[in-house]
Amino acid sequence: MARTTTKTDAARQRAIAWRHAEHARICDVIEPHEYGTSVQCTFMPTFWFFNSLRVEGPDTGVSADALVHAADVVQGHLDHRLVEVEDEAAGRRLRPGFEALGWAAERLAWLELEGVPAGAPELEEVPFPETRPLRLEWASGSVWDTDPEARLRFSEHEDRTAGLRGSRALIARDEGGAAVGFASFRRDGDTAEIEQVYVTESRRGHGTGGALVTAAVRAAGAPATFIVADDEGDSKRLYQRLGFREAWIQHVFTRKPG
């Protein structure tokens, strides 16, 4: 008997297809691989998420050691290594092996919202590069931050990919007009993604993040909107309170430079 595709399965497939389309838009090298697909952005080799090895399809039982070797082969010219595992069960199985080898492991929850909320706040739209001061502030407190030069280079990569993606940005300001948060987003066809949401530390807990997300969803105006959160962090709960529902758990394993 043929397997019935559930609503959850369909949402997962849409999320994976959206991720693949993002790679196709940005990466200039996309090659089939034994375990899935190798993607590279040769003009931005330090932008990790556009230089990765996608492990696609159901779990084949491949080991973490085998995937590390595969990443060494296809990413040997890069300072980092990055493997994305699309099957949730495979990611759970592989995680201890990658961590034992010193790689960082992330569970990324792709959440989907159907429809557009009514009554969203009106926030100022600005060119994406104007969010750079807030992005640099955000990066300076990240566990992925290495040094000011790398931080600046990453922000330049973000500006470039925002242009390629067609990303838009909203800014939240305090009573004095200072920028205290931003959300970036893009729409392609009937789908949108809230790409980044950041609120400066002093303004957290006052509803600014929720207002930015809701305003960005409304500004995008798509029938369906994705947002990605650390499955082991706090932001997922905020997005779920706003009506987003889990569509896909993506496992990402990274060996940082050095």
Q: Kindly report the length of the chain.
A: 258
Name the CA radius of gyration of the chain, rounded.
18
Which residue ranges form the domains of the chain, and what is each CATH number?
A: 7-109+251-255 (no CATH), 116-222 (3.40.630.30)
Given this model, what pLDDT does residue 232 score? 86
C-alpha distances out from residue 71 to 57, 95, 190, 202, Å: 18, 16, 34, 40
57's CB contacts (< 8 A; 6+ apart) are 36, 86, 87
212's CB contacts (< 8 A; 6+ apart) are 123, 170, 172, 181, 182, 183, 197, 199
Half-sphere exposure (Cβ direction) of 135: Cα atoms closer than 13 Å? 21
* Structure letter (DSSP) for residue 221: -
pLDDT at 144 over 80: no
Q: pLDDT for 34-91, tens place per residue?
A: 999 999 999 999 999 999 999 999 999 999 999 999 999 999 999 999 999 999 999 9
